[in-house]
Structure 1
Amino acid sequence: MQLELEQFERNNVWDLVPRPEHSNVEGVDFDETFAPKSGLESIRLLLAFSCVLQIKLFQMDVKSAFLNGFLNEEVFVEKFSNGITIAQIYVDDIVFGSTSKQKLDEFVDYMSSEFEMSMVGELNYFLGLQVKQFDKGIFITQNKYAKNLVKRFGLDNKKHMKTPMGTNDKLSKDENGTPIDPTLYSKYDRSLLYLTASRPDISYSVCVCARYQSCPKESHLKAVKRIIRYINGTVDLGILYSFDTNTNLAGFSDLDWV
């Protein structure tokens, strides 16, 4: 197991996963502050809204964002009239779109006059999400991340699995099982958690495996590796946001829990 951990560190799979904001180390970066920014969930919400409104999304980048970071006044966001304009900011990257071409141009001109901006163009890559905008909707995937994940874990030559978890697989604490390094297991699991942003098909299996991070056993690691082998055969899967969608909220519940 120690050899497996050393190989994992050499492959540096951990670099694939963004560092969480709460991981400051006292005496190193404990006094640093972090600006609030959009998360993957809010990005997906933006994509859903853009499909409902049938808005094409664009991306721009702020040059020298941190050099312009000090503000002495309150800042508010103002809605544009005669059209709906949506925007989301992640540090120095801005995703935006509008139902009005005029208001879209006004937004770009205003931002460019206030800050040094570089126009990236149509949105196609953001926070590790590959975005494809079609005439009938938006498709997001993380196939590049998925391929790198499988390869760096050394499972790219293993047989593909048809499902992320077996129908009869029942994970438990497995108190009599062989323990494994919790750090290694956590890195496997967190790498998979990041992939669930565009892969709801693995969400349940990954979350089940995440329950055993404090005291993982070989049976848990075997389950995680099965998920990765499933991903190896389905790297191109993702989420399709169709323009046919609507704003109606649908809810479902299990009658056993009413």
Structure 2
Amino acid sequence: MQPPPGLRRQGENRVCRLHKSLYGLKQASRNWFSTLSNVLQEGGYTQSKADYSLFTKVNASSITVILIYVDDILLTGNDEQEINRLKSYLLQHFHIKDLGDLKYFLGIEFSRSNQGIFMSQRKYALDVLHDAGLTGAKPEKFPMEQNCKLDLDDNEKLHDATKYRRLVGRLIYLTVTRPDIVYSVRVLSQFMHEPCKSHWNAAIRVLKYVKGNPGQGLFLPSNNNLQLKAFCDSDWGGCRTTRRSVSGYCIFLGPSLISWKSKKQTNVSRSSAEAEYRAMANTCLELTWLRYILHDLRVSQVGPSPLYCDNQAALHIAANPVFHERTKHIEIDCHIVREKMMSGIIRPAYVSTKMQLADIFTKPLGKETFEFLRSKLGVLDLHLPT
């Protein structure tokens, strides 16, 4: 850090010694989190090994949980005295503001009732629509045409690629509470470097779908058995450019959807069974991580978590300990799935293609199928008239 003007004498080559991290430096956020973590651990809280931003404190039958995002903190628990003590403790070390019950956090709106918690991004969605000038547009029933295939062969390039990147970036954050647009946004994000007119039109269609139900979100019911279950699926060779398969999974805690993903696989699969098996391996890793998180929250899992797949060949590979010619090149994924089976973490099970909920994350679907799977995910609009 250079000395300010007037403090440097002629002929001197001095710099200022930094005693405290300044706002805006690369190290500022890390130093802040380190300071906050040390204060919480000195107060008796334990930092989770699975998620370093999660802190817990357990006393007999009471539990207090802290979740941190930079300088925004969520605090919950079943011990009112411990929560008040923690607020006083933090006030002694930092300047904090108590905003009361959780209603709005990082652009996500929360509504609570006896039936459960509803989370959505209605205000954020309306802001995106307003900036795009689509508040008066005709809404769409589903985000992407069933036979829509986007690639880089379109020669009509956008003159201003910045507006496309800005729009897709905002849609990516909207997927925090909108799993119904995850696949469409994943496809659009592949063309950030050189978007075309067809890509822009597809992005506008997603916005028109959001316009039809901007208040749509996830409902987390209060009646919950707190047991994990997962669905995984893949679209073999779904990418027209690289011929890589698209994997998708969704994980439920009881009836509540808590984790979902749509991602192109890193390797080209030579069969649909191989593509499905790689999807199973990725889901196993996510299930393992979620079980660690639930263990920190003192939520026990009774027995292995069911992992539903609609490919019989992939299930036979998981159950058969013998490597065949068609599976030896995916040996690592085979070891991952079988290790989780032997340790009692997962239990592969068959589900029909019609009831495969992860299908919505792997390919564009028709209106009827899309709306059916969306309802099964627990996605609804609290603002619609009953």
Pairing of 1:215-226 with structure 2 (within 5 A):
215-226=194-205
- Match of residue 129 from structure 1: 108
Unaligned runs of 5+ in 2: 1-22, 47-56, 235-271, 277-313, 315-386
Is the Cα–Cα contact under 8 Å of residues 80 and 103 in structure 1 kept in the other structure? no
**Hey, what's the Cα distance between the residues in 2 that align with 1:130 and 1:234?**
15
Supply the distance in 2 between the matched residues of 1:36 and 1:167 (Cα, whole angstroms).
Answer: 45
- State the Cα deviation string for residues 45-87 of structure 1 (Å, max 9, x = none): xxxxxxxxxxxxxxxxxxxxx8xx995x955234241311011
Q: What secondary structure sits across from 2:119 in the alignment?
A: strand
Determine the structure 1 residue equivalent to 2:121. Answer: 142
Q: CA deviation at 1:88?
A: 1.4
Q: How many angstroms does 1:178 deviate by?
A: 0.2
The 8 Å contact of residues 189 and 210 in structure 1, kept in 2 or not, is answered as yes
Contact 2:104–2:110 at 8 Å: present in 1 too? yes
- The alignment partner of 2:97 has SS state of strand
Give the residue type in structure 1 aligned to 2:156: T
Q: Deviations over 1:8-51 (max 9, x none)?
A: xxxxxxxxxxxxxxxxxxxxx995324259xxxxxxxxxxxxxx
Give the 3-state SS of the residue equivalent to 2:99 in structure 1: strand
| Alignment-mate amino acid for residue 32 of structure 1 | K
- Number of the residue aligned with 1:44: none
**Contact in 1 for aligned 2:154/2:198 (Cα 8 Å):** no
Code of the aligned partner of 1:184:
K
Name the structure 1 match of 2:139. Answer: 160
- Cα distance between partner residues in 1 of 2:116 and 2:230: 23
In percent, how many aligned pairs have the same letter? Answer: 31
CA contact (8 A) 2:107 2:121 kept: yes
Q: Tell me the residue number matched to 2:65.
A: 86
* 2:164 pairs with 1:185: yes
Q: Which residue of 2 aligns with 1:35?
A: 29
Residue 195 of structure 1 corresponds to 174
Bigger strand share:
2
- In 1, distance between residues paired with 2:88 and 2:58? 14
CA deviation profile, 1:163-193 (whole Å, cap 9, x unmatched) = 11112222222x1430113322211110110
Distance 1:228 1:106, change over 3 A: same
| Deviation of 1:201 (Å) | 0.8
Deviation at 1:116, TM superposition (A): 3.2
Residue identity matched to 2:83: L
Secondary structure in 1 matching 2:223:
coil
Supply the distance in 1 between the matched residues of 2:220 and 2:120 (Cα, whole angstroms).
11
1:151 corresponds in structure 2 to: 130
Which structure is larger by alpha-carbon Rg, 1 or 2?
Answer: 2
Change in Cα spacing, 1:196 to 1:254, as seen in structure 2 (3 Å) is closer
SS in 1 for 2:191: coil
Select the structure with the greater relative contact order (CA < 8 A; seq sep ≥ 6). 1
| C-alpha distance in structure 2 between counterparts of 1:191 and 1:74, whole Å | 34
The two structures have a TM-score, normalised by structure 2, of 0.47
Amino acid at match of 1:81: N
Q: Specify the code of the residue in structure 1 equivalent to 2:59.
A: S
Give the 3 Å change call, closer, same or farther, for CA 210–244 of structure 1 in structure 2: same
Q: Distance in 1 between matches of 2:117 and 2:161?
A: 38
CA contact 1:177–1:219 (8 Å) conserved in 2:
no
CA gap 1:204/1:31 in 2 versus in 1, 3 angstroms: same
Structure 1 spans left out of the alignment, 5+ residues: 1-28, 38-65
TM-score of the aligned structures, taking structure 1 as reference length: 0.69
Distance 1:206 1:124 in 2: 27
Runs of 4+ with >4 A deviation: none
